[in-house]
Amino acid sequence: MKAIEKRILLEEVESVLIHKDENVTLTLVVSVTMSILFVLFLFIPKIYLSSHIYKTSVSLEKLSKEYLSLQNENIILKNKIVILKYNNGVTH
C-alpha cells in the first residue's frame, strides 16, 4: 500500500469510529434503564423465594433423614433393653 492509500484508509476508519449515532437519546437511555429495573423488580423476589424454598427443603430433608435414623436406633435400643430384661429375669 502506498502512503496515500494508508492515509485514506485511516481517515475512513476514524470516521467510522468517531461517528456519533444520533438515534441514541436521553429518552431512549432512560426508557431502557427503567425497563431493566422493572424486569429486575419482577424477578428478584422470585429468585429469592426459589432459593429460600430450595434451602429450606434441603434442611427439611436432612432433618427427616436424621429423624428416621433416630427412630430406627430407638427401635434397636428398645429391643436390646427387652433382651437384657429377659436375660436378667432368667438369671435371677
User: For residue 92, what pLDDT is reported?
Assistant: 63
pLDDT tens-digit series, residues 67-87: 999 999 999 999 999 999 998
C-alpha distances in Å from residue 10, one per residue of 5, 16, 50: 8, 10, 54
The conformation of residue 22, written as its DSSP 8-state character, comes to: T
C-alpha distances in Å from residue 26, one per residue of 2, 18, 35, 58: 43, 19, 14, 47
Does residue 19 surpass a pLDDT of 80? no
Q: What is the distance between the alpha carbons of residues 77 and 39, in angstroms, rounded to a whole number?
A: 57
* pTM of the predicted model over 0.75: no
What residue ranges do the domains of the chain occupy? 23-91
As given in the structure block, the three cell numbers for residue 46 are 422470585
